[in-house]
Structure 1
Amino acid sequence: MFLGATNTASVQPVVAIERTVFYRERAAGMYSALPYAFAQVAIETIYVAVQTLVYSLILYSMIGFPWRVDKFFWFYYFILMCFIYFTLYGMMLVALTPGHQIAAIVMSFFLSFWNLFSGFLIPRMQIPIWWRWYYWGSPVAWTIYGLVTSQVGDKTSLVEVPGQAHMSVQTYLKRRLGFEYDFLGAVVVAHIGFVLLFLFVFAYGIKYLNFQRR
C-alpha cells in the first residue's frame, strides 16, 4: 500500500513534464495521443515489474511463506497489479487535472479512503453496512483479499480462537474477515479491471483534454 502510494506520487511530476512536451510535439504533427499514452504505460509497466520482483523476493522471504512456485506466483501477481494500478492511478490524475499539484491533492483525498476501507484497519465484516459497498470500490481491499486468500486461504490446520471452538484457518478467514478461497478467481479479474479502467481513463485524458496555456 505505502510503496504503491509512493509510486503514485513519484510518477505525477514526470508525467506532467512529459505532457507539456507532448503538447508541443502533437501540435507539430509528430505524436498521436493514443500511441503516446500506451507507450508511456508500457514503459512504466516494465519498471514496475522489475521493482515488484525485487520487492517480492525480499518481502516473501522475510514473512516466511513456504517457497512454492504457485504461492510465490500469486504473491508476485497481486503485488505487481497493486503497483501497476497505483502507478496508473497517478498518471490518470495528471491527465485529468491541469497540473501535478492539483493531481497530488486529489490523490491524497482518495488514497485515504482506499486505505480506510481496505479492510486493513477495519475488517469488512465490521464496517457499517451502509459503508460496506465502498470496500468493494477500494482496489487495495482486493489486493489484501488476494494476498491473504492465496497464501493461507486454503489451509485446513486448526487455530485456537479465544472463547470459541477450534476452527480451521480457512473457516476463520471466512467467518471473521469474509475471505473465501473460492472467490480468488474474481479477485484476479478485479485487478485486471482496475488496471484497464485507469489505463483507458488516462488515455482518454491525454487524447481529449488539453490544459495548455498560451
Structure 2
Amino acid sequence: MDGVRKVADSGRTVVCTIHQPSSDVFFLFDSLLLLKRGGEMVFFGELDNAQSDDCECGHLIDYFEAIPEVPRLPLGQNPATWMLECIGAGVAAGAENSALTASVNFAQHFRESAEQQALIGGLGQPGVAIPATQLGELNFSKKRAATPMTQLRVLVGRFLTMYWRTPSYNLTRFIVAVGLGSVFGLVLVNGEYTSYQGLNAAVGVIFMTTQYNGIAAYVGALPFTAHERAPFYRERASQTYNALWYFVGATLAEVPYVFFSGFLFTIIFYPLIGFTSFVTGVLYWINLSLFVLMQTYLGQLLVYALPSVEVAVIVGVLVNATFLLFSGFNPPAGSIPAGYRWLYHCTPHRYSLSVLVSLLYGDCPVEPTYDEATQSYVNVGPELGCQPLKGTPLSIGHTTVKGYVEKVFNMKHDEIWSNFGCVFVFLAVFRVLSLLAIRYVNHQKK
C-alpha cells in the first residue's frame, strides 16, 4: 500500500476496494466511498479533519458522530472498524453498536446531508456533468499523445529490453547453434568432397543443419510471440501506440540475436568442414542468418494470424513439411516432376539452400575441359568446384563437383545474388503479412 500511496502522490488517481482495513492502511486514503448492503451510498467525501485538531479521518468521524443514534468512537479504536460496525457491516464483536444503529437509515441520512448537497452542487457546475456554454467543444488534433518517433523509440527499446531479460529464449537458440555446428561439423571432418558419396553427404549435412537451425528458431518464436500478443491487444484497444511501431520493434529486436546465433554456428561448422575463405565464410553466415530470421518471422506471422499456439503449430508443420519436400535436396531439384515445379519455385528454403551449397561447391570460374582421348579433365583449376567428381554412377557419367551440383540439385553459383534477392523478397512478404495480421486480426476473447 505504500507503493500505491506513492503513485497517488505523483498526481495519479488510484481507486482501491478495501474490506476490514487496518488503521495504518485506512489512514493512507484521501477520500472514501462507503456502501451498505444492497449497494446504497452512506458516505462519500474526504477523510481529512473538519476541525483544527490532529485527529485522523476527522471528517468521517465528525459526520457519523453527528448522527444521534451513533455512539462516539472509542479512544484508540480503528475508525474503519467503528464505521463498519455502525452501519451493520462489522464483525460479531460490534453487535452492540449495530443494535443501537439498527433503526438508522444511513442512506437516507446521507441524501439529506450537507455532504450530498455539496456533491450535487459540484456536479451541477458547468463543464462537470453539464456542458459549459462558455467553453468550446473538446477536440483532439491527434489520435495519440506521443509522436510517431517517440512511439518507435519506446517500443524498440521495450522489445530490446524484453529480449535481454528473457535469457531462456535466446540462450536456447545459442546452445542449439553451438550443438549443431559441433556435431555436424565433426561429421564432415576430413570429408572427401570430390567423391560421389562424399559430395552427396556434404550437401545433405548442409541441408540438415540449415533446416534444424530454422526449425529451432521457428518453434522458439511461437510461445514467445503468443505471450506478448495478449498485452498488445489491450494496448491496441486503448490506442496506446500505432501497430506499425509495435511491428517495427518486433522486427528489429530479433536481428542481433539471430545473427549472433548464426555466427556461433558458422564459426564452428565452417572451419570444421575444411573451408578457410573469409569472404565465403561471411556470405555463408549472412545467408544462414537470413534463413533463420525468415523462419522466426514465419513463426511470428502464424501466431499473429491464427487463434492459438496449438493451431499455429499444426499449420506450421504442414507449411514446413511442404517447404522441406520442395527445397531441392530430396527429391533433388532436377527430379521434381514438371507439374510440381511451381511449388519448388515458391519454396523460400530452396533459395537459401542453393546459396549455401553453391558458395561451397559451385565455385569454378573457368570450367575444365574433358579430354576424350585420355578420359580425364585438363586445365583443372584450384577451386573445389572445378575438381572432377569420382565414383559417379554410369547414369551420370563424368562431371565436376560444380557440374554435379548444378545438374542434380539446380544450385548454381552464377545465381547466388539473385537467390539472395529472393530471400529478401520472402522476408519482406512474411513481414508485410505479419503487419496486416497485427493491424486487422484480433483473436481476443471478449
1:105-148 CA-partner distances (Å, limit 9, x unpaired): 11011111111111222101111111122111111111111111
Counterpart of 2:248 (choices 38, 60, 63) is 38
CA distance in 2, matches of 1:13, 1:120: 30
1:109-128 to 2 correspondences below 5 Å: 109-128=318-337
Unaligned runs of at least 5 residues, structure 1:
none
TM-score under structure 1 normalisation?
Answer: 0.94
On the 8 A contact 1:95/1:202 being kept in 2, the answer is: yes
Partner of residue 92, structure 2: none
Is 1:117–1:135's contact at 8 Å kept on the other side of the alignment? Answer: yes
The correspondence for 2:437, drawn from 202, 205, 210, is 205
Alignment partner of 1:70 out of 279, 289, 296: 279
**Cα distance in 2, alignment partners of residues 27 and 210 from structure 1:** 10
- Tell which has more relative contact order, 1 or 2 (C-alpha 8 A, sep 6+): 1
Segments of 5+ residues of structure 2 without an aligned counterpart are 1-210, 364-384
Amino acid at match of 2:400: S
> Post-superposition shift, 1:165?
4.8
User: Equivalent of 1:158, from 384, 388, 391?
Assistant: 388
Distance, in Å, in 1 between the alignment partners of 2:225 and 2:393 is: 51
Q: Select which of 73, 76, 86 maps to 2:295.
A: 86
Out of 422, 426, 436, the position equivalent to 1:194 is 426
Give the deviation of 1:21 after TM superposition: 0.3
Normalised TM-score (structure 2): 0.46
Residue 171 of structure 1: which of 398, 403, 412 is its match?
Answer: 403
Deviation digits for residues 32-59 of structure 1 (CA, Å, limit 9, x no counterpart):
2010011011111221111111011111
Number of residue pairs aligned between Structure 1 and Structure 2: 213
The superposition leaves residues 192-214 of structure 1 with CA deviations (integer Å, 9 ceiling, x where unpaired) of 01111111111110011111111
| C-alpha distance in structure 1 between counterparts of 2:334 and 2:260, whole Å | 35
Runs of 4+ in 1 over 6 A off after TM superposition: none
Q: CA separation in 2, counterparts of 1:151 and 1:97? A: 39
Instruction: Give yes or no for contact 2:284–2:359 (8 Å, CA) kept in 1.
Output: yes
Match of 1:28 in 2: 238
User: Rg: which structure is higher?
Assistant: 2
Q: Which amino acid aligns with 1:187?
A: N
1:156–1:169 Cα contact (<8 Å) kept? yes
Kindly indicate which of the two structures has a greater share of residues assigned to helix: 1
Instruction: Compute the RMSD of aligned alpha carbons.
Output: 1.4
| Alpha carbons 1:22, 1:31 under 8 Å: kept | no
CA distance in 2: counterparts of 1:201 and 1:62, whole angstroms: 38
